[in-house]
């Protein structure tokens, strides 16, 4: 296939007038339709609706920062003109005529809402997406934002929205070899997004370049941009390498990737140091699970009361408190997480960027599971921004990813670092 355009590249051509929004959307539709039988990224895609939106942009003129750019929407996010089915039989054909706040922001910015991407049931657990990893159709694309990651990786759309409560953006981005960003918790409104664990749930997005990730950040950031945009200089940069409590689970390919990245950055003039987390972080993966499972009880109580045994057994297990967790456990988890956030921000503040693996290895074989999120839950719990940067591939050509993180609200610093580090990590823009 010809290299598909990134959003930034497409916008430049749209601005110059040598590409119409309709032609761009049609190219995306063509690519999606040729690949969908294999990749199965979409739970809903209506070509006529896509073309109508694109033609409206061409007719009305480009007024927003994303005018004419197609974007996929994870199917746990409400869209007024498309069904929202959560990959749950309970919501088959469900179609509330309302946009989530994040979709409304995209529409105001001029984006073409392209379709709904397949997801793990309720972005939580239960049924897996039908989506396959475009790099190897026998492998999972990761989850729960499976369709969004695969659609971007496979060139159907330049951008897609996802959500993360455990590792649902970073992991599929890593497995599919694309950029995936989970901003600081709370930065993007969750209005109209199916809750799973509200003190963890975060709306984020996928793209094929660091610039595209930053482009969407400007659409969603609710705070005034800084007078001086942050910059990142490789020469003399202080980079923390955080192996995190999950390091013992890292496979050889990930260990080799981290060693290689460290070497390349050092060769380019950066100071790469080990960032060792203090002992209070050792239990935070368990803390994350406690918050996720306990908050899920409230999130799925209405479905459980209404549908009983028709709710997937795994979700039913959450609501029925099969884990035996108590409110005291949740309170302790909240307090441990809050204390760790303060400590991590202090530690992280001294680095220009922090690197950590995005996954324990490449995408595993099979679609019945979506891989481990051992390397992701900590950052979700800490509320910090996390960006997957594609970092080459293993011996079989399967993507590996590295996470760039930092203190809460350092989103723009991370994006500035990624613009420089991204190309250095793999030596070229990811395809």
Alpha helices per DSSP H over 123-277: 146-153, 170-176, 210-220, 252-267
The number of residues that bind its own copies (CB under 8 A) is: 50
Q: How far is the CB of 84 from its own copies (least distance, A)?
A: 9
Q: Is 186 in the site for its own copies (CB under 8 A)?
A: yes
| Residue range at the interface with its own copies (CB under 8 A); choices 36-44, 107-115, 165-173, 231-239 | 107-115
Q: How far is the CB of 86 from its own copies (least distance, A)?
A: 12
Q: Is 86 in the site for its own copies (CB under 8 A)?
A: no
Spatial contact of 358 and 388, defined as CB atoms under 8 Å apart: yes
Q: Phi/psi at 118 (nearest 5 deg)?
A: -65, 155
Q: Is 90 in the site for its own copies (CB under 8 A)?
A: no
Spatial contact of 80 and 98, defined as CB atoms under 8 Å apart: yes
Question: 266 to 305, contacts with its own copies by CB under 8 A?
Answer: 295, 297-299, 301-302, 305
232, 247, 271, 409: residue in contact with its own copies (rule CB under 8 A):
409
Q: How far apart are CA 133 and CA 398, in angstroms?
A: 10
Q: How far is the CB of 351 from its own copies (least distance, A)?
A: 17
| Residue range at the interface with its own copies (CB under 8 A); choices 159-167, 173-181, 188-196, 352-360 | 188-196
Cβ neighbours of residue 151 under 8 Å, at least 6 residues apart? 32, 39, 41, 42, 72, 117, 157, 160
Q: How far is the CB of 85 from its own copies (least distance, A)?
A: 13
Q: How far is the CB of 319 from its own copies (least distance, A)?
A: 7
Q: Is 427 in the site for its own copies (CB under 8 A)?
A: no
| Residue range at the interface with its own copies (CB under 8 A); choices 147-155, 174-182, 247-255, 335-343 | 335-343
Question: 242 to 271, contacts with its own copies by CB under 8 A?
Answer: none
Per DSSP, the three-state class of 136 is strand
Q: How far is the CB of 397 from its own copies (least distance, A)?
A: 40
- Please give the positions annotated as active site: 74, 144, 168
Q: Phi/psi at 29 (nearest 5 deg)?
A: -60, -40
Query: Whose structure tokens read 């990224």?
Result: 41
> What distance, in Å, lies between the first and last C-alpha atoms of the chain?
11
Q: Is 331 in the site for its own copies (CB under 8 A)?
A: yes
Q: Is 110 in the site for its own copies (CB under 8 A)?
A: no
Q: How far is the CB of 343 from its own copies (least distance, A)?
A: 10
Q: Phi/psi at 159 (nearest 5 deg)?
A: -135, 155
Q: Is 224 in the site for its own copies (CB under 8 A)?
A: yes
Q: How far apart are CA 155 and CA 208, in angstroms?
A: 9
Spatial contact of 339 and 346, defined as CB atoms under 8 Å apart: no
- Of 413, 414, 361, 362, give the one whose Cα is nearest residue 386: 414
Exposed/middle/buried for residue 63 (C-beta within 10 Å: 0-12, 13-18, 19+): exposed
Q: Phi/psi at 371 (nearest 5 deg)?
A: 90, 175
Half-sphere exposure of 410 (CA within 13 A, CB side): 26
Q: How far apart are CA 284 and CA 277, in angstroms?
A: 11
Q: How far apart are CA 250 and CA 188, in angstroms?
A: 31
Q: Is 238 in the site for its own copies (CB under 8 A)?
A: no
137, 138, 266, 342: residue in contact with its own copies (rule CB under 8 A):
342
Q: How far is the CB of 229 from its own copies (least distance, A)?
A: 15
Measured CA to CA in angstroms, residue 54 lies from 80, 107, 154, 351 at distances of 17, 12, 21, 43
Q: Is 330 in the site for its own copies (CB under 8 A)?
A: yes
Spatial contact of 74 and 106, defined as CB atoms under 8 Å apart: no
The Cα diameter of the chain in Å comes to: 61
Question: 46 to 85, contacts with its own copies by CB under 8 A?
Answer: 78
| Residue range at the interface with its own copies (CB under 8 A); choices 230-238, 241-249, 270-278, 333-341 | 333-341
Q: Is 230 in the site for its own copies (CB under 8 A)?
A: no
8, 34, 104, 393: residue in contact with its own copies (rule CB under 8 A):
104
Question: 344 to 403, contacts with its own copies by CB under 8 A?
Answer: 345
Q: Which residues of this protein are in contact with its own copies, per CB under 8 A?
A: 78, 96-98, 101-102, 104-105, 107-109, 184, 186-191, 194-195, 198-199, 220, 222-224, 295, 297-299, 301-302, 305-306, 319, 321, 326-328, 330-331, 334-335, 338-339, 341-342, 345, 408-409
């Amino acid at each position: 296939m010809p290299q598909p355009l990134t959003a930034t590249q497409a916008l430049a051509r749209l601005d110059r007038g040598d590409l119409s929004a309709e032609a761009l959307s049609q190219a995306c539709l063509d690519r999606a339709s040729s690949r969908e039988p294999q990749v199965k990224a979409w739970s809903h895609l209506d070509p006529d609706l896509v073309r109508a939106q694109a033609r409206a942009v061409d007719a009305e003129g480009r007024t927003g920062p994303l005018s004419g750019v197609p974007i996929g929407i994870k199917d746990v996010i409400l869209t007024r003109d498309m069904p929202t089915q959560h990959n749950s039989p309970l919501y088959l054909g469900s179609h509330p005529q309302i946009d989530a706040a994040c979709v409304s922001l995209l529409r105001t910015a001029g984006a073409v809402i392209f379709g709904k991407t397949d997801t793990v049931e309720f972005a939580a657990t239960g049924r897996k997406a039908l989506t396959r990893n475009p790099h190897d159709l026998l492998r999972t694309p990761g989850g729960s934002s499976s369709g969004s990651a695969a659609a971007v990786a496979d060139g159907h759309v330049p951008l897609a929205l996802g959500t993360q409560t455990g590792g649902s953006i970073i992991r599929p981005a890593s497995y599919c070899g694309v950029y995936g960003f989970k901003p600081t918790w709370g930065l993007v409104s969750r209005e109209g997004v199916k809750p799973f664990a509200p003190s963890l749930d975060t709306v984020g997005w996928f793209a094929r370049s660091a610039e595209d990730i930053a482009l969407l950040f400007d659409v969603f950031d609710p705070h005034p941009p800084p007078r001086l945009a942050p910059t990142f200089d490789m020469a003399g940069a202080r980079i923390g390498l955080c192996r995190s409590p999950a390091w013992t689970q890292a496979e050889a390919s990930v260990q080799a990737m981290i060693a290689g990245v460290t070497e390349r950055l050092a060769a380019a003039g950066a100071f790469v140091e080990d960032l060792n987390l203090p002992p209070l972080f050792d239990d935070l993966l368990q803390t994350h699970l406690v918050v996720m499972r306990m908050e899920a009880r409230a999130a799925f109580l209405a479905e459980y009361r209404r549908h009983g045994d028709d709710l997937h057994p795994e979700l039913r297990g959450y609501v029925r408190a099969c884990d035996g967790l108590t409110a005291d456990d949740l309170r302790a988890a909240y307090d441990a997480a809050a204390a760790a956030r303060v400590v991590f921000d202090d530690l992280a503040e001294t680095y220009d960027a922090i690197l950590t693996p995005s996954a324990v290895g490449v995408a595993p074989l099979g679609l019945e599971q979506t891989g481990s999120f051992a390397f992701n839950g900590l950052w979700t719990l800490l509320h910090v921004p996390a960006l997957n940067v594609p970092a080459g591939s293993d011996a079989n050509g399967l993507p590996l990813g590295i996470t760039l993180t930092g203190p809460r609200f350092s989103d723009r610093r991370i994006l500035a670092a990624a613009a420089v580090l991204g190309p250095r990590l793999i030596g070229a823009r990811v395809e």
